[in-house]
Amino acid sequence: MEKNFVNYHVLISHNPSCLNRDDMNMQKTAVFGGTKRIRISSQSLKRTMRKSDYYKENISDSSIRSRLLFHPEEPNLKDLFVENLKDRFHEDIIIKALEVLSGKKYDAAVEIMADSVAPWAIEEVAWFCEKIEQSGSSFDDKKFIKEVKQDIAALRENLKQSVDIALSGRMATSGLMTELGKVDGALAVAHAITTHTVENDLDWFTAVDDLQELGSGHLDTQEFSSGVFYRYASLNLGQLRDNLGNASREEVLRIAAHVLHLLATETPSAKQQSFAAFNLADFAMVSFSDMPISLANAFESPVPKNEKGFLKPSIEKLQEYWSKIHSGYALDEKTTIFTISDFNIVEGLSKKNNLADVERWIVSDGE
């Protein structure tokens, strides 16, 4: 029987860094198991993934996320879509599509904002332009909405050009987007947290003014830390198929393999010029399952500091907890791992030689 969920469990050790900050320029943290952990938000991870070169080369172009619909001077969605679709549709058609989708009327002299920041896909807007163009001078909003509702699968198929909407979902609050633009995300991504307790360090730094004889031109401080992070995500294959207009299982499994690659290799860009924490995953576990299952509770009791560091004990605790959950709930899963570390593998897990082998295993449906 085909499994509907792919669960990803990734351990990645970051050297001293500050990869995700809050509104006070402090590292994001969370309390888990009664102790402080460093956190990288799911929003940060998802943006990192969809804006990466790997994503563009292997999945699709990223969507455009903005609420700036129309503006007489600043960059805006209208100008962006006109530029990208000018060889296919007249500007008036593109403006009409944006008006219908957003529920806002265009005024060339006025800044007009959508009700919220939402992801926009070029091919999705193009699909609406084509429908409006076909209606000609007899275009009617209400009639148009009825017609579009009957062809929702064709609309969803255009999300293949911007898969991150199908993966992360979209909530819309105005215009036609409210009825037809809502997409339930197929990919659930957890906030990554350290497997152990972390106390922040503080970097007191200066910027030397080469033309100033004494002192420095600038003094400041910046929080930083290091740690082993647990990244977890779950992909609903059935939801992804629906979001992409009834895509085949083979298509979504290819995307699932790319998701693993992104979770194991992509790192947020914050403060990287100062810390260069460009680290790859040390351990990755993937399972085909009947439900989404996080293994975060493996680290509810934080990994203690010892002469081995935190990485190897974290791998051992994750395996141990997987084994308990797997047997305790009699889970019918297909699971494999990849790691660059040496350790004993618990019963029930198979090991692949490299990340590419795990990706091929996902594409082949865990066979």
Strand partners, 223: 202
| Tens digits of residue pLDDT in 88-100 | 999 999 999 999 8
Answer whether 72's CB lies under 8 Å from 280's CB. Answer: no
- Residue 252, classified by CB atoms within 10 Å of its CB into exposed (0-12), middle (13-18) or buried (19+), is buried
- Three-state secondary-structure class, residue 210: coil
Cβ partners under 8 Å of residue 214, min gap 6: none
DSSP annotation of 169 reads: -
DSSP annotation of 21 reads: B
| Tens digits of residue pLDDT in 332-358 | 999 999 999 888 888 888 899 999 999
**CA 244 to CA 367: how far, in whole Å?**
24
Instruction: Please tell me the predicted confidence (pLDDT) of residue 147.
Output: 76
Q: What mean pLDDT comes out for the span 215-244? A: 89
Instruction: Please tell me the predicted confidence (pLDDT) of residue 180.
Output: 66
| Tens digits of residue pLDDT in 263-292 | 999 999 888 888 899 999 999 999 999 999
Q: What mean pLDDT comes out for the span 160-182? A: 77
Among 43, 42, 15, CA closest to 296: 42
List the structure tokens of 189. Answer: 């991504």
Answer whether 295's CB lies under 8 Å from 35's CB. Answer: no
Residue 173 pLDDT > 70? no
Cβ partners under 8 Å of residue 52, min gap 6: 262, 266
Instruction: Please tell me the predicted confidence (pLDDT) of residue 219.
Output: 77
Q: What is the pTM of this model?
A: 0.91
Q: What mean pLDDT comes out for the span 38-64? A: 94
